Structure 1
Amino acid sequence: MSFKIAIIGAGSVGFTKKLFTDILCVPEFKDIEFALTDISEHNLGMIQAILDRIVEANGLPTKVTATTDRRKALEGARYIISCVRVGGLEAYADDIRIPLKYGIDQCVGDTICAGGILYGQRNIPVILDFCKDIREVAETDAKFLNYANPMAMNTWAAIEYGKVDTVGLCHGVQHGAEQIAEVLGAKSPRELDYVCSGINHQTWFIELRLNGRAIGKDELVAAFEAHPVYSKQEKLRIDVLKRFGVYSTESNGHLSEYLPWYRKRPDEITRWIDMSDWIHGETGGYLRYSTETRNWFETEYPQFLEAASKPIDPARRSNEHASHILEALETNRVYRGHFNVKNNGVITNLPQDAIIESPGFVDRFGINMAAGITLPEACAATCMSSINVQRMSVHAAIAGDIDLLKLAMLHDPLVGAVSTPEEVWQMVDEMVVAQAAWLPQYADAVPAAKERLAKSKVKTREWAGAARRNVRSIDELRAEKAALKQAG
């Protein structure tokens, strides 16, 4: 087989390498072309050197090209994969810092909540540019695989306004299933059969079977509470399981910022989170982790390049969806996964226009969703709160409507639980002004926002958050890795 895959945001070096090696685990794909594109020539050069080393070490005819000219990379591509972060860590820092001034403490801030909404405003104009290029220069009926957050908003914009065949991909379902299999004592995650449905990062394990035996709420609660690690790291997630009757796919930290109940007061935050790793609820945890990861990669790049000389091992192929979807589409080997698509009746008690995450099967005819799923009422209600925010946020981003953006922010579950309308209005003005370089659709709104900020009497505070950690130095990271290696 010979076709072209374009990866936008390929400078996300570690993730691009994982996608690349996963895809090359499919024997039929050795003759394909990878076209890498990014706005950073520096990052492109690093990832191309790594991928070229992999190709050479494995004696493959695979072609790898790299260019900052996105349109050139997309020419003739059959599949386009996006893993971009518009604004990079600079804008992301504002997504965390500015809301803290108004009492909004986020762990990740990239899906909804204050940070996720602004992230969507930055991404959506760029997503529409991608879609325009795909329609004009990619292979006819090319498929767009979006890995970038905010998943639902990006996918919504690409389908509804970009008019491109798009699927959103995330790994939260797989990770949640691995946890459940472990607490139930399974020898392998493959022993667990499950149905997950909802929206991205608020997907619910509505059916569980271990080796064919149905698993109920009480057994699952007991298993998690008895686990020596998860009982401490997933306290909030276990509490939601007890109250809703089903387990959420999303991590303790992520889930905490999508709900109005657990992060509304500093003492409540520290009660429900765990500081053993950022993903369990640390203030700005993913920002810290991302900053450390970038610094580590820049410093230790020679080691990453050396590791690229190892043979590709198909047994180590990851559970990221992309390679499995491409394999199913091209070879007709059926793949079952959980995909982000427009609802269109798949989930009976969520809106038709919403982007849902639910089970589907892939073969040469495409992605075929399992329709007719009804969520438990509490799960549907929680999803609806986020869907309404997502819809308003997408419409605001398309129109450059700052008033609608403020209403979207006001209706966010955690923002609404913490901040007053006056605070929300000022916070949005402040975030739009700070991120104006990445918000072209709001250019006409920025001068008035600046004037309002100059006259505002809404009080803010300088606050690091309830559970903030400093970014660790390279020496500190080296020492920690050495200690972990020695311990195990």
Structure 2
Amino acid sequence: MTKTIKIVTIGGGSSYTPELVEGFIKRYHELPLRELWLVDIEEGKEKLEIVGNLARRMFQKARLPVKVHLTLDRREALQGADFVTTQFRVGLLDARAKDERIPLKYGVLGQETNGPGGLFKGLRTIPVILEIVEDMKELCPEAWLVNFTNPAGMVTEAVLRYSDHRRVVGLCNVPIGMEMGIAKLLKVDYSKVRIDFAGLNHMVYGLDVYVDGVSVKDRVIEFLTNPENASFVKNIQGQGWEPEFIRALGVLPCPYHNYYYKTREMVEKEIKNAATLGTRAEVVKKLEDELFELYKDPELAIKPPQLEKRGGAYYSDAAVRLISSIYNDKRDIQPVNTINNGAIASIPNESAVEISCVITKEGPKPVVMGDLPIPVRGLVQQIKSFERVACDAAITGDYNKAVLALTINPLVASDTIAKKIVNEMMEAHKKYLPQFH
């Protein structure tokens, strides 16, 4: 008899959960899920119940014998789990809105995973993820942690560096979104496209692109000289690259590189949006209210198409594909966040990188990429320094290190401004930063 699987999702009341459930339904033939435990906190209880009931209706409609459990008790859920997925937000969307608005007052980008927003989301999240890992070591030591919580690279770095739990993989939907976008540009089936990814989370580059094993990188770079082809994800609309720049760069940037290579334009755009439409968190809040109204409908038993606007498209594909490949020892190639182990020569071996990996039952085995090209190497190393100092600050509660981390970040570029932003954000997020107070 085939072994059945228990999966726990922490942050189960998230609007993304129906994405995940759809993924489990699609791949049920290769991933015999028995129990899905959705875990949340007291503040998320109502949403957990709405999402949980939708999940039950989805499995019922698909005629699958999956039992959905809802709980606010993480430890109860983790007992004997095979996989644990994390998709939580400490401080909810209100905290994200502060991360976005406060830096803009200082003319600095306010964004969920980059610059000050990325730092403070990391400071709030890392202590919590390490508590989850401690519980897993006791209650389900053989389980794999598949982390989708942002900043995914920094969170993976912290688990690798400050715990001895090695069964951890960080996941992001940006690489899969890039592959899907390029397949559309080239008018080929997505299954034919493969990209050699290397770098860090939200700082990853496509070093080469293949269709049926033949490199088409130069052709794709030409496509990217057209501004209409420049963005692959819903929540970041860039202005398009200067053709001379993108040709000379010689590799594919990800959408988040707009924040680094078009900093001034992106800050101006964010300031304008914040004053008119609201920050991204405020827009998402409205979207989520609409989504949860839809989710309440007792007749709804599928993932509603409106969820695509939320910015996490392909998340279920990426997450469930990864879980299935570990479970079935598929040895296919997927981009994930994992320990470098020499795959990228210019990043420390013990650090987390985002890289194409062969996915096995022992976890991801990075494809050795050698050194990053000179034009991108320095920026990737600078962001890795920022991540490492930020992790250190999160663990120690050292205020000085928080100021240092933000000053190292290329989006801030002034120790005086960094200190002012840190002071204001420390105060704004006081409730979720006990290690500093």
Partner of 1:247: 252
What is the aligned partner in structure 2 of residue 11 from structure 1? 13
Distance verdict in 2 for CA 1:70–1:214, change over 3 Å: same
Q: For residue 48 of structure 2, what is the aligned residue in structure 1?
A: 44
CA change 1:205–1:29 in 2 (3 A) is: closer
Q: Write the deviation string for residues 280-335 of structure 1: whole angstroms up to 9, x where unpaired.
A: xx9975313321221212333344x533169xxxxx99763222222223233333
Task: State how 1:147-296 maps to structure 2 within 5 Å.
Answer: 147-164=148-165, 165-183=167-185, 185-217=186-218, 219-226=219-226, 228=228, 230=230, 234-237=238-241, 240-248=245-253, 250-251=254-255, 254-257=256-259, 259=260, 261-264=261-264, 269=268, 285-296=279-290
Q: Where does residue 103 of structure 1 map in the other structure? A: 107
Q: Does 1:366 align with 2:363?
A: yes
Instruction: Specify the alignment match of 2:133 in structure 1.
Output: 131
Flag as ranges the 4+ runs of structure 1 deviating above 6 A: 316-319
Q: Deviations over 1:228-282 (max 9, x none)?
A: 554995444465523411111x22xx3232x2x522378x845xx9x9xx9xxx9
Deviation at 1:93, TM superposition (A): 1.3
Cα distance in 1 for residues equivalent to 2:302 and 2:242: 42
* Matched residue SS, 2:96: helix
| Equivalent of 1:408 in 390, 405, 408 | 405
- 1:66-89 deviation per Cα after TM superposition (whole angstroms, max 9, x unaligned): 100111111111111000111111
Distance in structure 2 (CA, Å) of the matches to 1:320 and 1:231: 20
What is the CA-CA distance between 1:411 and the residue it aligns to? 1.0
Separation in structure 2 between the aligned mates of residue 397 and residue 376 of structure 1, nearest angstrom:
31
Determine which of 291, 297, 306 is the counterpart of 2:291.
297
> Residue in 2 aligned with 1:112?
114
Q: Note the C-alpha offset of 1:213.
A: 3.5
Query: 1:338 and 1:320 mapped to 2: Cα distance?
Result: 13
CA RMSD of aligned residues (A): 2.7
AA matched with 1:69: D
What's the counterpart of residue 306 of structure 2? none
Larger Rg: 1
For 1:229 and 1:166, the matched residues in 2 are separated by 34
Are 1:329 and 2:326 an aligned pair? yes
Question: How big is the shift at 1:430?
Answer: 1.1
Amino acid at match of 2:282: R
Q: What is the distance in 2 between the residues matched to 1:119 and 1:401?
A: 16
1:380 matched to 2:377? The reply is: yes
Q: CA deviation at 1:30?
A: 4.0
CA spacing shift, 1:3–1:441, aligned 2, 3 Å: same
Shift of 1:44: 1.2
Over 3 Å counting, the alpha-carbon distance change for 1:79 and 1:244 in structure 2 is: same
For the residue of structure 2 that corresponds to 1:349, the secondary structure is coil
Aligned counterpart in structure 2 of residue 421 of structure 1, from 385, 399, 415:
415
1:349 aligns with 2:349: no
2 CA distance for matches of 1:426 and 1:285?
Answer: 21
TM-score (norm 2): 0.87
Higher mean alpha-carbon deviation, 53-62 vs 429-438, is at: 53-62
Q: Which residue of 2 aligns with 1:432?
A: 426
Code of the aligned partner of 2:115: C
For residues 32-56 of structure 1, the C-alpha deviation after alignment (integer angstroms, 9 at most, x for no partner) is 1111100121111011101111222
- Where do 5+ consecutive residues of structure 2 fail to align? 304-312
Change (3 A) 1:415 1:7: same
8 Å CA contact 1:237, 1:247 repeated in 2: no
1:130–1:53: structure 2 CA closer, same or farther, 3 Å change rule?
same
Change in Cα spacing, 1:213 to 1:284, as seen in structure 2 (3 Å) is: farther
Tell me the secondary structure at the aligned position of residue 367 of structure 1: strand
Larger mean Cα displacement after TM superposition, 291-300 or 1-10: 291-300
Q: Equivalences for 1:20-99 in 2 at 5 Å?
A: 20-24=21-25, 25-39=27-41, 40-99=44-103
Q: Please show how residues 435-474 of structure 1 align to structure 2 within 5 Å.
A: 435-443=429-437
TM-score under structure 1 length normalisation: 0.78
**CA, structure 1 residues 90+174, in 2 after alignment: closer, same or farther (shift >3 Å)?**
same
Amino acid at match of 1:393: A
| Paired residue type of 1:359 | S
Instruction: Find the aligned partners of 2:136 and 2:397 in 1 and give their Cα distance.
Output: 23
The question of whether the paired residues in 1 share the 8 Å contact of 2:13 and 2:52 is answered with no
**How far apart are residue 123 of structure 1 and its match?**
0.3
For 1:104 and 1:401, locate their aligned partners in 2 and report how far apart those are by CA, in whole Å.
23
- How far apart are 1:211 and its partner, in Å? 3.8
State the alpha-carbon separation in 2 of the partners of residues 344 and 95 from structure 1: 33
**2:178, 2:326 → 1: CA distance?**
26
Change (3 A) 1:411 1:105: same
Pick closer, same or farther for the CA change 1:229–1:236 going to 2, 3 Å.
closer
Q: How many residues align?
A: 415
Q: Are the counterparts in 1 of residues 109 and 411 from structure 2 also a CA contact under 8 Å?
A: no
